[in-house]
Amino acid sequence: MSRRSSVAKIVLLAVAVGLLLPGCSRGPAGHEGIVIGLSVPSLSHPFFVCIRKHVEDEARQLGVRVIATDAEDVSAKQMAIVEDFIAQGVDGVVLAPIGAEALTPAVEALNQAGIPVATVDRKVAGGDVLVHVGADNVEGGRIAARYIIEKLHGRGAVIELEGTPGASPAIDRKQGFEEVLAASGVKLLVSQTAEFYRAKGQSVMENLLQAHGDFQALYAANDEMMLGALEAMAAHGLPPGRVVTVGYDVIPDAARSIREGRLTASIEQFPGQQARQALRLLVAKIRDGKLPPSKEVYLTPVAIDRNNLDRAETKE
């Protein structure tokens, strides 16, 4: 029995290796052009899928090849992916780190291997990064608050839906929003988490609607939660437009809702532009040894509503 199972294991291993081999032979070692490794937290999330799409598109225009990977939101896995990049001998890495601290060793390993790295979306705490291209989530929260305050003429009450407890975009978007709100005449009625999920946004909003009837605005730290909340408000009999609603990320569903007048606005961080710019600066360094003009590049987030919907990066 045990011999049989060990034979089975060896066969399985051989099959697995066989499956991997053709992948390796096409790998960067035998490739003439520039190869860039792209590591994002998760390819299950539309936001990072969008980043990948833009990076691959920009790579085609630049004539470089991209290896896109999925770290399944596990920082140890992302670390391993970066180590694999080093082993494969990629020419550069575009990294959207899962955690600022946890991915510092990965950047240090890339430094040691002499492979330039650009970070997008989130930063790492240490190591030497060629350039960071990002959007300021705190600033995005502030912009959402200013938008709501302006729409409400400085008076009224707002409900907030927060992201996943402990996640840095959740913390930053909340911080910026509440900081500006506190200095205004608009009151924060209640803030609850819906963990960045649409279904959770719906059920949390259903619950909040039971307890809080009198509010004039709703802010959600991402569009997924907002779209769920919009379903809850519609089922509750609130006509669209009665409440000022501001989401975050301008995902395609949100862009459509803005056009249809169901959603007031959403904060655009231009993730595609971030990723493209990071790749351009990285390739410039690899090709021509050109250093980026600055170590940190921030794209200013913008509130997208019906009037400037054409500025949104993701079309419906």
Partner 1 sequence: MRKGPSKLGDCPNFRSTKMGLSPSALLRSIAGLRKFGTFAGFLAIVVALSLLCPKFLTAANLANVVRQSSIHGIMAVGMTLVILTAGIDLSVGSVLALAGVIGAGLEHRDWPLAAVLAATLAVGGLAGLVNGLVVTKGRVTPFVVTLGTMSIARGLAHLLTGAQPISGFRPAFHFLGAGEILAVPVPILLFLASVAAAAVLLERTRLGRYLYAIGGNLQAARLSGIPVDRCTTAAYVLCGTAAAAGAIILTARLNAAESIAGTGYELDVIASVVIGGTSLSGGRGGVWGTLLGALLIGTINNGMNLLGISAYFQLVVKGAIIVVAAFLDRLQAGGRG
Closest residue by Cα to residue 219 from 312, 299, 303: 303
Please, what is the minimum distance in Å from the beta carbon of residue 275 to partner 1? Answer: 16
- What's the one-letter identity of residue 260? E
Task: Report, in Å, the least distance between residue 222 CB and partner 1.
Answer: 12
How many angstroms separate the CA atoms of 94 and 39, rounded?
A: 6
- Closest to partner 1 by CB, 69 vs 193, is 193
Quick check: helix, strand or coil at residue 129?
Answer: coil
Nearer to partner 1, 12 or 199 (CB): 199
CB of 80 to partner 1, least distance (A): 17
Taking the least distance from each CB to partner 1, the nearer of 111 and 175 is 175
Give me the residue label for tokens 């990977």: 69
Compare residues 46 and 240 and give the one whose CB is closer to partner 1: 46
Which CB, 156 or 228, lies closer to partner 1? Answer: 228
Task: Look at the alpha carbons of 280, 286, 287, 288 in this order and tell me if their dihedral is positive or negative.
Answer: positive
In the complex, what is the shortest distance from the CB of residue 290 to partner 1, in angstroms, rounded to a whole number?
35
- Tell me how far, at minimum, the Cβ of 237 lies from partner 1, in Å: 11
Cα–Cα distance measured from residue 126 to residue 141, given in angstroms and rounded to the nearest whole number? 26
Q: Of 303, 272, 312, 306, nearest to 52 (Cα)?
A: 272
Binding site for partner 1 (CB under 8 A): 43-46, 49, 162, 165-166, 190-193, 197-199, 202-204, 206-208, 210-211, 224, 227-228, 231, 235, 252-253
Nearer to partner 1, 160 or 268 (CB): 160
The least CB distance from residue 233 to partner 1, in Å, is: 13
Distance, CA of 13 to CA of 6 (rounded, Å): 10
Instruction: Show the DSSP H helices in 134-251 as ranges.
Output: 137-151, 168-182, 198-211, 223-235
Question: 3-class DSSP state for residue 192?
Answer: strand
